[in-house]
């Protein structure tokens, strides 16, 4: 099979021919049709992600495909079944071995590319806004990195939950994408006095921050009493330093949030969230935004689209055949 693998840290991943893996007990092998790319894939390639797979490995946290082989003890999935999986890595390959408990049957009408673009982006935003932030109708939600993979779904879901959504993104084109997803107010990330603009809009109740750095600081300083700030990531490179006395005075909650971590310590909320999201998809209520489809042999180009912030929504890598 072909796989886009990282052989050693510090070297770029490359397309290689390798042996198709065999599933161990409790695992299945998937014939991968499509793989959704995420900012975490860039961190994994650099060796700076919170989880480090053994070398060599193929990046690609989420994938969609058909079950090709069953490991011992797997009874709830069948050969040829269409599934979407959150594997953590391995998706940038024609075949991938995945824990059977990480596979979710796809709706019959769901295309493979939609499935590959779905789990991480929608799952991250939905669980954050419902389970962690308890976003309420009428509250003001600000989303940083609002045209990116998870940011755009936070805009879409927040608007559907009845919040007033403020989208922060870089440039008119990205802000237009966020507006089409449901944002009520738009702020260019390169404009001056973002804190002042947020305060002029009445301040914020919930911040969904994937960028960190100065944008986190602006959201923090524009927070209303009892605001909740969800720390999703640091795509801007700057890890915020939080002044605890300001938390105290304004009764602000800063919430650390790692969606994938729920698989290790409490998978039930994550599973409920995905079930609800797939029902919303089947009802036509949510629609994955894919800005680029890239063939496997050009997977490096897909990662570069994320690195250079030239994509909106999701980049999906598709396999031949």
**Cα–Cα–Cα angle for 89, 148, 3, rounded to 5 degrees:** 25
Q: How far apart are CA 303 and CA 315, in angstroms?
A: 8
289-314 tens-digit pLDDT: 999 999 999 999 999 999 999 999 99
How many Å apart are CA 309 and CA 321, to the nearest integer? 29
Q: Residue 246 — very low, low, confident or very high, per pLDDT cuts 50/70/90?
A: confident
Handedness of CA 82, 55, 301, 290 (dihedral sign): positive
> Which residue blocks in 228-298 are alpha helix, DSSP H?
244-250, 262-265, 267-282
Question: For residue range 107-119, what is the model confidence (pLDDT) as tens digits?
Answer: 999 999 999 999 9
- pLDDT at residue 78, rounded to an integer: 97
Whole-angstrom distance, CA of residue 129 vs CA of residue 150 = 12
The pLDDT-based confidence of 36 (bands split at 50, 70, 90) is: very high
Question: Residue 145: pLDDT above 70?
Answer: yes
pLDDT at 235: 86
118 vs 265 pLDDT, higher one: 118
| Closest to 91 in 3D by CA, of 35, 44, 37 | 35
Span 177-206, average pLDDT: 97
Place of tokens 């929608």: 122
Burial class (CB in 10 A: 0-12, 13-18, 19+), 245: exposed
CB 287 within 8 Å of CB 313: no
Domains identified in the chain and CATH numbers: 2-118+288-318 (3.90.180.10), 121-260 (3.40.50.720)
pLDDT given at position 256: 95
- Check residue 321 and give its pLDDT: 52
Task: Name the one residue in this structure whose structure tokens are 């003001």.
Answer: 140
- What phi and psi values does residue 231 have, to the nearest 5 degrees? -90, 105
Q: What is the mean pLDDT of residues 269-280?
A: 92
pLDDT higher than threshold 90 for residue 51 = no
Residues 55-76 pLDDT 10s: 999 999 999 999 999 999 999 9
DSSP for 144-202, please give it.
ESTTSHHHHHHHHHHHHTT-EEEEEESSHHHHHHHHHTT-SEEEETTSS-HHHHHHHTT
Kindly state the DSSP code that residue 298 receives in the 8-state scheme: G
Provide the whole-model pTM: 0.92
Residue 236 has a pLDDT of 83
What are the DSSP calls for 73-100, one per residue?
Answer: T--SS-TT-EEEEE-SS--SBSEEEEEG
Token pair in block for residue 86: 């959150």
Helix and strand counts by DSSP (H, E) for the chain = 11, 15
For residue 221, the surrounding DSSP H or E stretch is helix 213-221
> 48: pLDDT confidence band, cut at 50, 70 and 90?
confident
Grouping H, G, I as helix, E, B as strand and the rest as coil, residue 130 is helix
- Residue 206 token pair: 């919930």
Percentage of the chain lying above the pLDDT 90 cut? 86
Q: Look over the chain and give the mean of its residue pLDDT values, rounded to a whole number.
A: 95
Position 264 scores a pLDDT of 84
Determine the longest span between alpha carbons in the chain, in angstroms: 60
State the Cα–Cα distance between residues 93 and 61, nearest whole angstrom.
11
**Coil/strand/helix, residue 105:** strand
CB 127 within 8 A of CB 270: yes
Run of H or E including 315 = strand 314-318
Of 35 and 246, which is predicted with more confidence? 35
The string of DSSP codes covering 18-77 is -PPP-PPTTEEEEEEEEEE--HHHHHHHHT-SSS-PPSSB---SEEEEEEEEE-TT--SS
């Amino acid at each position: 099979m072909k796989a886009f693998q990282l052989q050693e840290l510090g070297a770029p991943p490359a397309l290689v021919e390798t042996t198709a893996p065999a599933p161990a007990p409790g695992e299945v092998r998937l014939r991968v049709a499509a793989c959704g790319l995420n900012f975490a894939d860039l961190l994994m390639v650099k060796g700076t992600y919170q989880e480090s797979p053994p070398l060599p490995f193929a990046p690609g946290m989420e994938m969609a495909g058909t079950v090709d082989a069953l490991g011992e003890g797997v009874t709830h999935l069948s050969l040829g079944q269409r599934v979407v999986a959150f594997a953590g890595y391995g998706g940038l390959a024609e075949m991938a071995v995945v824990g059977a408990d990480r596979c979710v049957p796809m709706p019959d009408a769901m295309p493979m590319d939609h499935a590959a673009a779905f789990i991480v982006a929608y799952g991250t935003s939905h669980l954050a806004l419902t389970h962690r932030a308890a976003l309420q109708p009428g509250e003001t939600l600000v989303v940083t990195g609002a045209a990116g993979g998870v940011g755009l779904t936070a805009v879409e879901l927040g608007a559907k939950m009845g919040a007033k959504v403020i989208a922060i993104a870089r440039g008119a084109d990205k802000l237009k994408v966020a507006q089409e997803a449901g944002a009520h107010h738009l702020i260019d990330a390169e404009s001056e006095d973002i804190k002042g603009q947020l305060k002029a809009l009445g301040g914020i109740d919930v911040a969904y921050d994937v960028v960190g750095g100065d944008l986190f600081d602006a959201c923090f300083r524009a927070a209303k009493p009892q605001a909740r700030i969800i720390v999703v990531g640091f795509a801007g490179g700057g890890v915020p330093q939080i002044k605890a006395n300001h938390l105290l005075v304004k009764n602000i909650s800063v919430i650390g949030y790692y969606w994938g971590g729920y698989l290790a310590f409490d998978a039930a909320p994550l599973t409920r969230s995905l079930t609800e999201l797939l029902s919303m998809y089947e009802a036509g209520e949510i629609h994955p935004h894919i800005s680029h489809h890239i063939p496997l042999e050009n997977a490096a180009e897909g990662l570069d689209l994320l690195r250079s912030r030239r994509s909106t929504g999701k980049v999906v890598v598709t396999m031949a055949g």
